[in-house]
Structure 1
Amino acid sequence: MGILSFVEDRPTPKAVYNWRVWLLAAVASCTSCMIGYDSAFIGTTIDLPSFKSEFGFYSMTSSHLSMISENIVSIYQAGSFFGAIFAYPIGFYWGRRIGLLMAGLVFVLGAGMMLGANGDRGLGLIYAGRVLAGLGVGMGSNMAPIYISELAPPAIRGRLVGTYELGWQIGGLVGFWICYGVEETLPSSTKQWMIPFAVQLIPGGLFLIGLLFIRESPRWLLSRGRREEGIKNLCWMRQLQEHDIYILEEVRMIDQALEEQFNGGGSGFWTPFKIAASDKRIMYRLFLGSMLFFWQNGSGINAINYYSPTVFEQLGVTGTNTSLFTTGIFGVVKTVGTCIWILFLIEWVGRRRLLMIGAVGSSISLWIVGGYIQAVDPAKTADGKMTSGGVAAIFFFYLSTAFYTPTWNGTPWVINAEMFETNVRALAQTSAACSNWLWTFLISRFTDQMFAAMGAGVWFFFASLMLCSVFFVFFLIPETKSIPLERMDHLFDHKPIWTAHAKVMAELQEEELQVRQELGATEKETVTQVERVV
């Protein structure tokens, strides 16, 4: 099987893999573009001399400055945590599309508020705007992956959900380089730091425009009894006629899942909570999904994203311009890695193997970086010139990023979007999004203090967590690629977990063969009856 190939759960017409499903995924993924841009631009922008001068940072003590910086960064994640919670009732009652629209509107309002801040007014509008923008992207981080997973054909579901991660990295790439550009080309002024804040409105505006062209999730419509509209949207997305056997089979599987959901407790607002509380299997999977984001943040990636100037200063990189340039290269490495992940690795290598490979490679690289800092302490001995050891340390820093990005950066989102059946999927995505923002908030809130107190120990800490994650994935996380969403319970029922995928795929192929044989027998019987009449 080639690296661009994928495994189908059943024979699938080529029309199913059409531009419409990619367009819908791309529009929904604009939410992650907004997140990625913020994670990249905010740390570098507040490090610009013009921003520090505007808000009096130079007159603050180092401890006070660290607290202000951490508050500016982390209040966004706090808003995102609550936004992810609010998304659940919105998505339940009004649907995925309305939820995404509300997320975009709230984000744009928050981004616009930040532009009203200046030295005279203080940081109040930035704080308030970042809370609102965080609420918006928190809602989007809940809605977008579940919307994409519900419209995606199983064989390319990983790639489609992966567009969410690609949007994150594209936003991050722009965010890293926009600060380098304004520092390089503009004099130190209010305009210099205001431009990176204003650029937030671009992905937000594109997102709102794109929402004019997307359609509601067929699965959500069918679950609300809007059958005709749901089947119509499904046919539009698949570019197939209503009576095509592929559409008939997909609708049958959705109906079966909804019937099981109804028999399992109904479809009310509180039903997923009741089901989860009474079913240890679901609680266990919610735990697994949350822990995936714990290990993801245990890689240290968000510490680097939000405090990249501090990170490169510890590696011996001096000067604002040089620091921003090396940060921009970091963004390039992440974006390239994500493109490789979405095009080749996620469906070819699979989820489990990617996570384990990425954790081992990233851990080894971080141990080397930490060892160099421990031995040399380049931040104190830097004289403006990079030594060969410093160049090697930066190489391994980029290498750890190259291992992490096409593995841990997006794969937890894919797994969380896949491993729950219809009756608890919205609750599960809410749990995943909240977990992501909780761990990200803790990292962004205390990273500056960690670097000040632990020094090289920060790198050893993250390297150790990455190593521990290998055992977590091997023993607890099954492979989910190409498994229909309606069969995830069966996947987790098989033990040992590392053999579950092969067993379920064999079951699906056997069932497909039986269905085809039954349909073939029915067609032959019909032809025989017609011939007799004639």
Structure 2
Amino acid sequence: MGRLKGTRLGAFRAYFFGFFVCTAGFLFGYDTGIVGGILEFESYQNDFRYTDQTTVNAVMVSLQNVGAFFAALTIFPLSDRLGRKKTIQGAMVVFCVGVILQVVPSHSLVCFYIGRVVSGLGLGAGTAVVPTYNAEMAPKEIRGMLGSGVQWLFALGVMISYWIDYAVEQTLPAVSKQWQIPVGLQLVPAAVLAIGLFTQPESVRWLAKKERYDEAWESLKWMRADDGPEVKAEFAEIRTGISEELRASQGMKKRELLEPANRYRLLLGFFLFCGQQCTGMTALAYFGPQFFKLLVGNDSSRSLLITGLFGAEKFITVGIYILFFSEMWGRKPTLWISAILMSICFIIVVVVNNTTPKPDKEVTSAGIATVAMIFLTNSIYQFSWGPLPWPYTTEIFPTRIREVGSSVSVCSQWLFNFLFSLVTPYMQASWGSYTFLFYAALDIVMAVLVWFFVKETKGRSLEEMETIFNSKAAFDVEVARHEGVPVSTSVEGLEVKHKKTHDSSE
């Protein structure tokens, strides 16, 4: 676990804030998890009276991903104008409207689908802005841990949704409330996040970017629960970094995204979230019951139970990684080594499943072995591609384009989420367990790309990223921090001598 300097209250606030805003990840996970279960419910099929199970499976998931994709792609101008906090609160309101449209007793798939798109808009906007908000407030010592909190809360949401699906399937008759309860419960965490943010400060770096320095200083001082030399030095570094970004890109607008350093970072962000989906683990999260039926036989209750255990393992393993290993291992080796290991596990699953008798109602030893291998793959994913893209794709961008970079990165997640959620039911129907072989090949490709193109960022401040990526806005971080130490407590006294800092950098 990263060692955090400063006061105990500041440490508490940093941890609380970091994991609280990741409630958006919980919503993402919960929504991901309930889908596969309710699609197995007789009550859902009876209420909406459809016959093409495969198409409904594909459309129900993919439509929300379409809404999330467009929201994540277009939300950054609103985030830049209104701030991180208000944008997330607005996104949660939109998400709640979508959930209400889904649970009303319309008996219309069209109404349900519209609700999926609307809730997708809120979910996409929230998951795009939250990583940026988190990165801009987190101390660098624990930024990786807090950024990875999105995945931990995602895993918690998945786990809870699986067990709620299993519970209502076992205890409630096949009537409307059997599927309405799991869907409607999404309103609770969304409301908690929207209301709870009233107690939290706006992003320090966003306020500084808007030249609202008094508010930025108060926000940082409150978050660190301190106004001593280290906090002043951090504030000086933030102000210098933003000033250097503005100086380096003065008079430029969209063209600055095409600068070599920024173009490289945008492609990295796009690739990492694309890679997160290419592992196949999100497809497993959406369609867990359907996948486990391929391995242990056609029994809905059994597959829901295994899916629940799968979700519990997901939450436990990612929690262990975030608490004990997130600031211990480098980002780059973790990504490429885990991709190779997941590929090996998927290949073993395919070989065992296709060289042993097919399970029916009875569980076979081969079925148990393949499920165990899927659980192992899940653990590897939760130590790598699950949590790491969230902090990595926010820490590499400068403040000036962080909204754009985060939006591009997260929208690539939703884009490939959409593609894989749309085609996976058809792949399952046509290829069976050979679907795992497809994801094994993608894992190998990702390992190669990480080896050649991903840069290490562990333990570096957001301002130091300019040097790592050879940006025009690079500056001497140590000089900037030194300039901030001897100043008085007044915000006016925190002015940084930009010319002197720039000359020292040269």
Question: TM (normalized to structure 2)?
Answer: 0.91
For residues 405 and 516 of structure 1, the distance between their equivalents in structure 2, rounded to whole angstroms, comes to: 41
Range with bigger deviation, 309-318 or 320-329: 309-318
Q: Quick check: 1:22–1:160 contact (8 Å CA) kept in 2?
A: yes
CA-to-aligned-CA distance 1:425-470 (integer Å, 9 cap, x gap): 1110010111110010000011011122223321111112112222
Deviation at 1:28, TM superposition (A): 1.3
For residues 512 and 16 of structure 1, the distance between their equivalents in structure 2, rounded to whole angstroms, comes to: 28
In the other structure, the counterpart of 2:494 is none
In the other structure, the counterpart of 1:67 is 55
Which of 275, 282, 293 is 2:256 aligned to? 275
Deviation at 1:206, TM superposition (A): 1.3
- Is residue 177 of structure 2 the alignment partner of residue 196 of structure 1? no
For residues 317 and 479 of structure 1, the distance between their equivalents in structure 2, rounded to whole angstroms, comes to: 44
CA-to-aligned-CA distance 1:381-437 (integer Å, 9 cap, x gap): x33111111111111011111111121101011110111111211110010111110
For residues 485 and 22 of structure 2, the distance between their equivalents in structure 1, rounded to whole angstroms, comes to: 40
Q: Quick check: 2:237–2:484 contact (8 Å CA) kept in 1?
A: no
Q: Quick check: 1:346–1:354 contact (8 Å CA) kept in 2?
A: no
Unaligned runs of 5+ in 2: 488-506
In the other structure, the counterpart of 1:126 is 112
| Structure 1 runs, 4 residues or longer, greater than 3 Å off | 14-17, 511-520
Q: Quick check: 1:40–1:176 contact (8 Å CA) kept in 2?
A: yes
CA-to-aligned-CA distance 1:31-68 (integer Å, 9 cap, x gap): 111110010001211111111122223xx2xxx32112
For residues 159 and 151 of structure 2, the distance between their equivalents in structure 1, rounded to whole angstroms, comes to: 12
Deviation at 1:519, TM superposition (A): 6.4
Match of 1:407, SS? Answer: coil
- In structure 2, relative to structure 1, the CA distance for the partners of 1:215 and 1:388 (3 Å cut) is same
- Is residue 330 of structure 2 the alignment partner of residue 337 of structure 1? no
Which of 439, 444, 467 is 2:421 aligned to? 444
Q: Quick check: 1:155–1:481 contact (8 Å CA) kept in 2?
A: no
Match of 2:237, SS? Answer: helix
Give the counterpart letter for 1:36 in structure 2. G
For residues 372 and 298 of structure 1, the distance between their equivalents in structure 2, rounded to whole angstroms, comes to: 22
- Is residue 325 of structure 2 the alignment partner of residue 348 of structure 1? no
Q: Quick check: 2:149–2:387 contact (8 Å CA) kept in 1?
A: no
Q: Quick check: 1:334–1:402 contact (8 Å CA) kept in 2?
A: yes
Give the counterpart letter for 2:403 in structure 1. A
In the other structure, the counterpart of 1:469 is 446
Q: Quick check: 1:80–1:437 contact (8 Å CA) kept in 2?
A: yes
Which of 386, 392, 397 is 2:369 aligned to? 392
For residues 518 and 339 of structure 1, the distance between their equivalents in structure 2, rounded to whole angstroms, comes to: 36
For residues 24 and 2 of structure 2, the distance between their equivalents in structure 1, rounded to whole angstroms, comes to: 28
Q: How does 1:395-414 map to 2 (within 5 A)?
A: 395-414=372-391
Q: Quick check: 2:148–2:322 contact (8 Å CA) kept in 1?
A: yes
Give the counterpart letter for 1:293 in structure 2. F
Give the counterpart letter for 2:229 in structure 1. I
- Is residue 471 of structure 2 the alignment partner of residue 491 of structure 1? no
For residues 350 and 150 of structure 1, the distance between their equivalents in structure 2, rounded to whole angstroms, comes to: 21
Range with bigger deviation, 454-463 or 387-396: 454-463
Which of 211, 228, 232 is 2:197 aligned to? 211
Tell me which of the two structures has the higher relative contact order, counting C-alpha pairs closer than 8 angstroms and 6 or more residues apart: 2
- In structure 2, relative to structure 1, the CA distance for the partners of 1:518 and 1:73 (3 Å cut) is closer
In the other structure, the counterpart of 2:85 is 97
Which of 391, 397, 405 is 1:428 aligned to? 405
Q: Quick check: 1:371–1:456 contact (8 Å CA) kept in 2?
A: no
Match of 2:89, SS? Answer: helix
For residues 321 and 31 of structure 1, the distance between their equivalents in structure 2, rounded to whole angstroms, comes to: 29
Deviation at 1:376, TM superposition (A): 3.2
Match of 1:409, SS? Answer: coil
In the other structure, the counterpart of 1:21 is 14
Q: Quick check: 2:331–2:457 contact (8 Å CA) kept in 1?
A: yes
Which of 156, 161, 168 is 2:147 aligned to? 161
For residues 515 and 105 of structure 1, the distance between their equivalents in structure 2, rounded to whole angstroms, comes to: 44
Give the counterpart letter for 2:86 in structure 1. I
Structure with bigger gyration radius:
1
Q: How does 1:2-401 map to 2 (within 5 A)?
A: 4-6=1-3, 12-15=5-8, 17-57=10-50, 60=51, 64-119=52-107, 122-241=108-227, 244-266=228-250, 271=253, 273-277=254-258, 279-376=259-356, 378=358, 382-401=359-378
For residues 397 and 170 of structure 1, the distance between their equivalents in structure 2, rounded to whole angstroms, comes to: 18
- In structure 2, relative to structure 1, the CA distance for the partners of 1:155 and 1:512 (3 Å cut) is farther
Residues paired across the two proteins, number: 484
Question: TM (normalized to structure 1)?
Answer: 0.86
Q: Quick check: 2:233–2:482 contact (8 Å CA) kept in 1?
A: no
TM-align CA RMSD: 2.2
In the other structure, the counterpart of 1:419 is 396
For residues 151 and 134 of structure 1, the distance between their equivalents in structure 2, rounded to whole angstroms, comes to: 26
Q: Quick check: 1:358–1:404 contact (8 Å CA) kept in 2?
A: yes
Q: Quick check: 1:15–1:238 contact (8 Å CA) kept in 2?
A: no
Deviation at 1:284, TM superposition (A): 1.6
For residues 23 and 223 of structure 1, the distance between their equivalents in structure 2, rounded to whole angstroms, comes to: 24
> Percent identity among equivalent residues?
30
Q: Quick check: 1:15–1:240 contact (8 Å CA) kept in 2?
A: no
- In structure 2, relative to structure 1, the CA distance for the partners of 1:245 and 1:181 (3 Å cut) is same
For residues 433 and 298 of structure 2, the distance between their equivalents in structure 1, rounded to whole angstroms, comes to: 18
Deviation at 1:377, TM superposition (A): 6.2
For residues 320 and 452 of structure 1, the distance between their equivalents in structure 2, rounded to whole angstroms, comes to: 16
- In structure 2, relative to structure 1, the CA distance for the partners of 1:416 and 1:165 (3 Å cut) is same
Give the counterpart letter for 1:56 in structure 2. R
For residues 350 and 62 of structure 2, the distance between their equivalents in structure 1, rounded to whole angstroms, comes to: 25
Match of 2:464, SS? Answer: helix
Give the counterpart letter for 1:68 in structure 2. V
Q: Quick check: 1:28–1:100 contact (8 Å CA) kept in 2?
A: no
Deviation at 1:493, TM superposition (A): 3.7
Unaligned runs of 5+ in 1: 495-503, 521-534
